[in-house]
Structure 1
Amino acid sequence: MKIKSILKACACLLFWSSLGLNTTGQSQNAGLKLPPGFSAKTILDSSGKTRHLVVLPGGLIYVKMARPWKGNGIMILKEDNAGKASIAGGFGDYGGTGIYVKNGYLYASSNEAVFRYKLNEKNEVLTPDQPERIITGLKMGRQHETKSIVLDNDNNIYVNIGSPSNSCQLQDRQPGSLGVPGCPLLDSAGGIWQFRVDKADQSYSQGIRYATGLRNVVGLDWNQQNNTLFVTQHGRDQLNDLFPAFYTAQQNAELPAECLYMIKKGDDAGFPFAYYDQLQKKYMQAPEYGGDGKKEAGKKYLEPVVAFPGHMAPNGLLFYTGTQFPEKYRNGAFVAFHGSWNRTPQKQEGYYVVFVPFANGKPSGNWEVFADGFSGQAEVMTPRQAKHRPCGLAQGPDGALYVTDDVKGTIYKIEYKK
């Protein structure tokens, strides 16, 4: 009888362990799988759809909401010494994704404009109901409408303006429809625009199209080692669905790459005329513009510094400059993958945070999965199964890594202890 009880207890322990739980039923590392020495916890269990965020000294956190939550498009959190955050207020009646802090100002974007708020010495917003609108009139379609933002060290702000279509077809996402000649939407979308941070109500005419040929950028950050902009692009969809004569379902699931680019002024990443094939390591002509899955596009487009598998949706990019994590992570890039929806009939991919080692401002090794298990599923066949989907990344003053989830609004904090 005693042996049966021991066996039963062991079986129970194995069951809880398989779920990432300890014997008291409490989640270990908030259900995440992490490298040795790292731990994770949730500082906020649920809220609205949290997108990008900033974490400031004194436990103050500003979170951009995809849509206003309880009337506020920016949520204010206060993290206590025990590592739990409480909602301390909010402001802004607009949804969106972008949020950034630099030189005493908080910058935030709607899907059509960018605002800034003056901060006091405690990093509190002085006039939450009276923001300065510094950019207005940005193109917004029914897809890829979010405006991610980042600042450089010379008082410039960079704004992603995503393509309002999948691949600039005459009839969007319709089988066999060809591309619009010249793709005129690139005049106002499908790229990164540069504006000044201190001028009011700038429009396209006051900005500069800094880079083009980028279908949709959600993750972007400024690399301080080489003083350069880096972005992660969402690649185009539905190669097999739209052009089944040229692509198999397997190719549809894997292509094209989700690319990490180092961006200089005037760069062209090829969209919609070409896409990057990470398997062949070359640009291919898009089928909407004369491609057949075999025709190369040549070497006129910007080469990615990393080409990830297709359709994983890189929504967050952060260069780690803290000292809490081991030396290998210093100045490297974390990328939050929101997860795919269009790899059927294969299982979906992504739903994790990866790490890319960097040295002297360039990748120095292969990327690796850093934090996995956000989805809560062994296999995800449809995004609706995912309990959480990573979106935004931020570094805390102590070097901890914060990750948002825009399914339930959970916010994770990842730490390292020797």
Structure 2
Amino acid sequence: MKKILTSLLSLSLLSAPVMAKDILDKLTVADGFNVSLFADDVENARQIAVSKKGIVYVGSRKAGNVYALIDHNSDGVADKKIVIAKGLEMPSGLAIKDGDLYVAEVSRIIRFKEIDKHLKAPKFEVVYDKFPTDRHHGWKFISFAPTGELIVPVGVPCNICAEDDKYGRIFSLDVDTKEIKTIAKGVRNSVGFDYHPTTHAFWFSDNGRDMMGDDMPPCEINRVGEGEEGAHYGFPYVHAGAILDPEFGKGKRIADYKSPALALGAHVAPLGIHFYNGKQFPANYKEQLFVAEHGSWNRSKKSGYRVMLANVEQGRITKYTPFITGFMQNEETFGRPVAFAELADGSLLISDDYANAIYRVSAKKK
């Protein structure tokens, strides 16, 4: 009972109101960069997508909304917010292709055609509605592959369980033919992925299981290289390429499953990951991987709550260092980073579903 009460208290603290403008002074960003507020009052801001016109679209999970943020004078601060959809079921993920905005709900993908032209009265059509209806790990991050398919994850409807092939996978969906294929399996709950800009290797985050203690098992960053589509990444049998699950790992061999590109701290909850491909940041940031560690909810001492930078060389992570810290201090939560997107000028947007904010990271002018 004591553990349950502690968990409930932790969850109530995570939902406490926070003013985004008050967080900036608490954040520490890497040398050579500034972090500013692109938008606040964006309830439960999750995935971000930017149209060719520069309109910033934002999904949400708990709020059920999709937002359009407009920076009319291009000063790095949104001056107008439009709620283009309400009452959707966990519309956390969104992506843009050919001017159309795709939004992922729990069991379906919907599309707003030529969204930039229809902000006042947008209408959507259902593209695909055959994903499971489970809300537990049912929210989604989506993105288009370089080859045009929509990448859609389906998390498992549990903390730890063995489910059928509808769950624990990352799929590619042809939005025209509705053909669906498996990119990766044995994935507990991925809420972030990206393709390397040059090699086109697919990288994804995965959140490790709970209830194995403070320090087990690690969360993961994984890589799907050429010829590795459909590989099994271990869940629920093996965690982080090294740990047999105490319940489901019996009789399994660690060597039969793919190891992660990087094992992270337990419960840090990596969500969005993003290869920087802009021209504003220094050259050594080009094609390096940003990781949003959303932060733990059930650990005796909190972990995560930061933006990290993974240096990638020849398909391997060689270094993993903090880029923005301060979202959590002395066990008090001020923000929880979620996802990334780039603006045309090369600055980097980061969403925060706790502070209801979108931050903008820019390189300092020399």
Fold-level match, TM-score > 0.5?
A: yes
Of 86-95 and 298-307, deviating more is: 86-95
**AA partner of residue 353 (structure 1):** V
**Could you tell me which residue of structure 2 aligns to residue 90 of structure 1?**
83
Q: 1:307 to 1:136 in 2, by over 3 A?
A: same
**Could you tell me which residue of structure 2 aligns to residue 259 of structure 1?**
220
SS at match of 1:54: strand
Cα distance in 2 between the residues matched to 1:232 and 1:108: 20
Cα distance in 1 between the residues matched to 2:181 and 2:244: 27
Of 42-51 and 159-168, deviating more is: 42-51
**AA partner of residue 361 (structure 2):** I
Cα distance in 2 between the residues matched to 1:62 and 1:84: 14
SS at match of 1:328: helix
Cα distance in 2 between the residues matched to 1:140 and 1:275: 26
**Could you tell me which residue of structure 2 aligns to residue 269 of structure 1?**
233
Matches within 5 A, 1:297-336: 297-336=253-292
Cα distance in 1 between the residues matched to 2:151 and 2:52: 25
- TM-score norm. by structure 1 comes to 0.76
C-alpha contact (below 8 Å) 1:390/1:404 kept by paired residues: yes
Instruction: Give a deviation string over 1:157-214, Cα, whole Å, max 9, x none.
Output: 111100001111xxxxxxxxxxxxxx2x231111111210224xx4xxx422332100
Instruction: Give a deviation string over 1:96-131, Cα, whole Å, max 9, x none.
Output: 2111123332221111111222327xx444796432
Instruction: Give a deviation string over 1:335-371, Cα, whole Å, max 9, x none.
Output: 1111001221xx21111100111234x2352110101
Matches within 5 A, 1:338-349: 338-344=294-300, 347-349=301-303
1:49 paired with 2:40, answer no
Cα distance in 2 between the residues matched to 1:28 and 1:285: 40
Backbone CA RMSD of aligned residues? 2.2
Higher relative contact order (CA 8 A, sep 6+): 2
**Could you tell me which residue of structure 2 aligns to residue 4 of structure 1?**
none
**60, 74, 77: which one pairs with 2:66?**
74
Alpha-carbon distance, 1:30 to partner: 4.6
1:396 paired with 2:357, answer no
C-alpha contact (below 8 Å) 2:219/2:267 kept by paired residues: yes
Alpha-carbon distance, 1:89 to partner: 1.6
Cα distance in 2 between the residues matched to 1:40 and 1:258: 27
Alpha-carbon distance, 1:90 to partner: 2.4
**Could you tell me which residue of structure 1 aligns to residue 164 of structure 2?**
186
Q: 1:306 to 1:128 in 2, by over 3 A?
A: farther
Matches within 5 A, 1:145-224: 145-168=138-161, 183=162, 185-199=163-177, 202=178, 206-224=179-197
Cα distance in 2 between the residues matched to 1:254 and 1:210: 29
Alpha-carbon distance, 1:272 to partner: 0.6
1:236 paired with 2:182, answer no
**Could you tell me which residue of structure 1 aligns to residue 55 of structure 2?**
60
**AA partner of residue 199 (structure 2):** N
Matches within 5 A, 1:362-381: 362-375=315-328, 377=329, 379-380=330-331
Cα distance in 2 between the residues matched to 1:189 and 1:348: 29
Cα distance in 1 between the residues matched to 2:342 and 2:234: 32
1:110 paired with 2:105, answer yes
C-alpha contact (below 8 Å) 2:39/2:358 kept by paired residues: yes
**AA partner of residue 215 (structure 1):** R
C-alpha contact (below 8 Å) 1:63/1:75 kept by paired residues: yes
SS at match of 1:369: strand
Matches within 5 A, 1:111-126: 111-119=106-114, 123-125=116-118
Cα distance in 2 between the residues matched to 1:30 and 1:58: 31
Q: 1:30 to 1:124 in 2, by over 3 A?
A: farther
Q: 1:212 to 1:186 in 2, by over 3 A?
A: farther
Query: Unmatched 5+ residue regions in structure 1?
Result: 1-25, 169-182, 240-251, 277-281
C-alpha contact (below 8 Å) 1:257/1:311 kept by paired residues: yes
Query: Unmatched 5+ residue regions in structure 2?
Result: 1-20
Cα distance in 1 between the residues matched to 2:121 and 2:197: 30
**Could you tell me which residue of structure 1 aligns to residue 245 of structure 2?**
286
Q: 1:29 to 1:342 in 2, by over 3 A?
A: closer
- TM-score norm. by structure 2 comes to 0.86
% identical equivalent positions:
28
**Could you tell me which residue of structure 2 aligns to residue 136 of structure 1?**
129
Larger radius of gyration, structure 1 or 2?
1
More helix by share: 1
C-alpha contact (below 8 Å) 1:275/1:284 kept by paired residues: yes
Instruction: Give a deviation string over 1:296-322, Cα, whole Å, max 9, x none.
Output: 833111121111111001111111001
Cα distance in 1 between the residues matched to 2:317 and 2:271: 22
Cα distance in 2 between the residues matched to 1:166 and 1:370: 30
C-alpha contact (below 8 Å) 1:149/1:160 kept by paired residues: yes
**Could you tell me which residue of structure 2 aligns to residue 15 of structure 1?**
none
Q: 1:401 to 1:290 in 2, by over 3 A?
A: closer
| Count of matched residue positions in the alignment of Structure 1 and Structure 2 | 339
